[in-house]
Structure 1
């Protein structure tokens, strides 16, 4: 059985939830509640990592992201826009009931890495 938004939720991260809100598949209240829950879950995960792996947490800069050497802010911003777009596109493509199984991009989302 294919992945279904109504059955499994499919709210992988706030980008997917926002995309579903823009597509009018979830209400504003539900989208905000999902995004708050996802953010609180991320904060709890960071706290757990800090509690159980404090040396790694401190050694790796507390999990804060930074621009790697050799890249500028524009390149990083482009990657931060394109990455979530590809994720949301993949979720929408695999959950669209009007698509047939022989579409060429669906195996990418269902592959086992």
Structure 2
């Protein structure tokens, strides 16, 4: 079971060059993702009169899927290209990353998203970037669970599974496409974001924290389910990859 593979790691791991480089890569990748994604949303919200139109949904899906593809691609060989705290949590549950390194990733992802959103606000001369709290929190949680499950499952199949072979750029493309497809499925309409770091930076800059817990609970549950199922059923123990640490705490 994946739960038996969970490793806490040690504090010394947080100072290792490879861990710090990975955290820096996640910070940069978040900027690659958040800046163009939110920038496109601002632009399209001004060009398209009704924000509820099909055109707006398509624009949002494309503006998130494309930069996510690029962000994952540029970070894949360094940090794994998580670009999402929920993806990191799913990898942790499956035993692919220690808890200590996960914390480094989460800090880097949150700082990267906030840096990107403020950089965007400055670059656009103060154009509004706001949060959109879900009207129905528990429906949004369910949507977050389902959509994040699909996203993290795709990460496992295309980047974490040691039997995936040399997929090259196909993995990041698949991840970007599932992100776009999830948005088009209605996730945004119900308040789902699939990425708590994105929701966090929006809340920080807009100071709207209403039902912010939804974005963490739903995505972490969805990521944990995806990681547990894929790790348990589809990854052969004989071909499993070892964690980048020698200190394990078995649970």
State the TM-score, normalizing by the size of structure 1.
0.69
Which residue in 2 is equivalent to 1:12?
83
Helix, strand or coil at the partner of 1:7: coil
Give the Å deviation of 1:99.
Answer: 4.9
Figure out how many residues of one structure are paired with residues of the other and give that number.
Answer: 98
Q: Is residue 86 from structure 1 mapped to residue 153 from structure 2 by the alignment?
A: no
Cα RMSD over matched residues? 3.0
How far, CA to CA, are the matches of 2:176 and 2:109 in structure 1? 25
Quick one: which of 127, 131, 154 aligns to 1:56?
127
Which residue in 2 is equivalent to 1:33?
104
Any gaps of 5 or more consecutive residues in structure 1?
none
> For residues 7-32 of structure 1, what are the alpha-carbon distances to aligned partners after superposition, in whole Å with 9 as ceiling and x for unaligned?
34221211111111111111111110
Give the Å deviation of 1:55.
Answer: 4.7
- Equivalent pair of 2:87/2:152 in contact (CA under 8 Å): yes
> For residues 52-90 of structure 1, what are the alpha-carbon distances to aligned partners after superposition, in whole Å with 9 as ceiling and x for unaligned?
224531xxxx3212226xxx2222111122221111100
How far, CA to CA, are the matches of 2:175 and 2:148 in structure 1? 17
Helix, strand or coil at the partner of 2:122: helix
After TM superposition, what 4+ stretches of structure 1 lie above 4 angstroms from structure 2? 110-113
